[in-house]
Amino acid sequence: MALKRVVVTGLGAMTPIGNTVDAFWQNLIAGKSGAAPITLFDVSDFKTQFACEVKNFDPQDYFDRKEARKMDRFTQFGMVVADQAIADSRIVESNFDPDRIGVIWGSGIGGLDTFFEQTKSYFEAGNKPRFSPFFIPMMIADITPGQISMKHGFRGPNFTTVSACASATNALIDAMTYIQLGKADVIISGGSEAAITPPGMGGFNAMHALSTRNDSPETASRPFDKGRDGFVMGEGGACIILEEYEHAKKRGAKIYAEIAGGGMSADAYHLTAPHPDGLGAKNVMRNLLADANLSPTDVDYINVHGTSTPLGDIAETKAIKHIFGDHAYKLNISSTKSMTGHLLGAAGAVESIATILSVINDIVPPTINHFEDDPELDDKLNFTFNKAQKRVVNVAMSNTFGFGGHNASVVFKKAE
């Protein structure tokens, strides 16, 4: 059967550098860091005392008090960005079939703070079971698409993908596939995460995964810089409305870009470390290009996973050079995590929006905080260091890799 084309018709974002898509994009191309000392809890005894928090977020600006208390922060983010994207797409103003609209979401951890607070209350009460009746539905990672569907009446496919930091990208790939196969007309997709919590920061500190540059939070996320010492935790969410092309055309929808393909692979190597030769990263990009029927020379920009970890940045660079050959030196490469921090399971959604906007605007956002070249990397590659660059971007891809060796990539093209 001929696969249906899938396009992007709505966007929503709540990030550490902007609580709307426009604010996010303007701060992204301006090279603004979202890192600052943590305000959400007391970090006096933590190795890392900073993160990329969402700024000026008050749940009561979006929900009534009772409703807000029934949602973990990660679901609140998801609901807000879904509302933004749905309004942007104008899908509910169209003559739509609710049975043909689904919600496929990504979250790597889910309600971590809810789990922590409820467990803490249990022990503080002397091991007496005084749990909230909303504990389980607030905590489970799949609750966000459920909440979105209940609010808007969408009765199509509805679930959450969990693949660590590749979660939201896997959600986008699943959403695209369902539409390609004719199983839905529209999928509300994306991801949300809220892991800036005591167990979140403590757990990643115990793994030595986080930067400890407490004296300079805004320069701590340094992808591809010699002085990088780990990633910076981020939080927030993003939503992308995917729609079947003819369906979008028929209702006169605004089309931002076309999602042309998705790739997936596994490292099958280590719990947390990437394959040293970037084997999984090579395979996922190869699979992506094959799925999208693109050649390496078609790609103009890669929004890389680029977490600012010593091993990860090297492995991804090796993979890019292997897959793209001489064309690697004609690409723009950048890591927007240098500004947003790492949003874990939501990273793929936020970075896909950055990738889509680069295609629309012909601007590549920068990799900020580059101070010193790393001799283990190739300084002839264009990492778009420190300043955004203008260039024609017809095709751009976004890479995400997760603990457990999960790899997922998507590619976007200019809308025809």
Burial class (CB in 10 A: 0-12, 13-18, 19+), 121: middle
Query: Is the separation of the CB atoms in 402 and 164 below 8 Å?
Result: yes
Of 52, 165, 247, 370, which is the active-site residue? 165
347: helix, strand or coil: helix
Residues 6 or more apart from 125 whose CB is under 8 A from it? none
CA distance 228 to 214: 13
- Whether 270 is a known active-site residue: answer no
CA 2, distance to chain mean position in Å, is 30
Which residues, other chains included, contact 244 with Cβ-Cβ below 8 Å and sequence gap of 6+? 4, 5, 6, 7, 179, 182, 184, 185, 186
Angle at alpha carbon of residue 251, lines to 245 and 255, rounded to 5°: 50
Place of tokens 């092309």: 245
How far is the C-alpha of 408 from the C-alpha of 401, rounded, in Å?
A: 6
Residues 6+ apart with CB under 8 A from 156: 98, 99, 100, 101, 102, 103, 183, 184, 186, 187
Q: At what angle do helices 112-124 and 198-206 cross, to 10 degrees?
A: 100
CA distances from 371 to 35, 367, 368 (A): 17, 11, 9
* Contact call for residues 372 and 226 (beta carbons, < 8 A): yes
Annotated active-site residue in 152, 275, 305, 370: 305
Nearest to 94 by CA among 243, 267, 288, 304: 243
Q: Identify the CA nearest to 184 among candidates 134, 237, 243.
A: 243
52 is annotated as an active-site residue: no
Would residue 165 show up in a list of annotated catalytic residues for this protein?
yes
SS3 260: strand
**DSSP 8-state secondary structure symbol assigned to residue 195:** -
Catalytic choice (247, 275, 342, 370):
342
Using an 8 Å Cβ cutoff, are 399 and 316 in contact?
yes
Q: Are residues 190 and 95 in contact, defined by beta-carbon separation less than 8 angstroms?
A: no
Residues marked as catalytic: 165, 305, 342
